[in-house]
Amino acid sequence: MDLDREELKKLLKTKGVRTLEDCNAFMRDISKDVVGTLLEGELTGHLGYEKHDQKAKAAENAQNGFTPKTVKSKYGEIELDVPRDRKAEFEPQVIKKRQKDISGSPC
């Protein structure tokens, strides 16, 4: 993925990133958002419909909130909200159940 340096500079300035500590905090936030989006996408694929879709009313299984989870990353600990389904059949692949360390992953 190519990143426009000027856009990156604007983003970092907007977010107040000035030090390596700020950078780590920013990367933790970005990682949390990316992983959360990936997990929600996995659940959507598992259920076969988007969140708040009308198909949910007729389906046997549906999204059923989130479970909090803390994982270690190369940027520090990240608090995630892992989506869950009513039948507890959803097996996330991005971060597997009971996985506590994602420091070797790209996020």
pLDDT, position 1: 62
Locate 105 and state its tokens: 């992953």
pLDDT, position 107: 63
Give me the residue spans of the domains in the chain: 17-52+59-97
Between CA 78 and CA 98 the distance in angstroms is 15
Between CA 27 and CA 57 the distance in angstroms is 37
The pTM assigned to this predicted structure is 0.84
pLDDT, position 3: 73
Between CA 84 and CA 73 the distance in angstroms is 22
Between CA 65 and CA 27 the distance in angstroms is 25
Q: Are 50 and 44 in contact (CB under 8 A)?
A: yes
Sign of the torsion formed by the C-alpha atoms of 66, 97, 75 and 13: negative
Residues of the chain where predicted confidence (pLDDT) is lower than 50: none
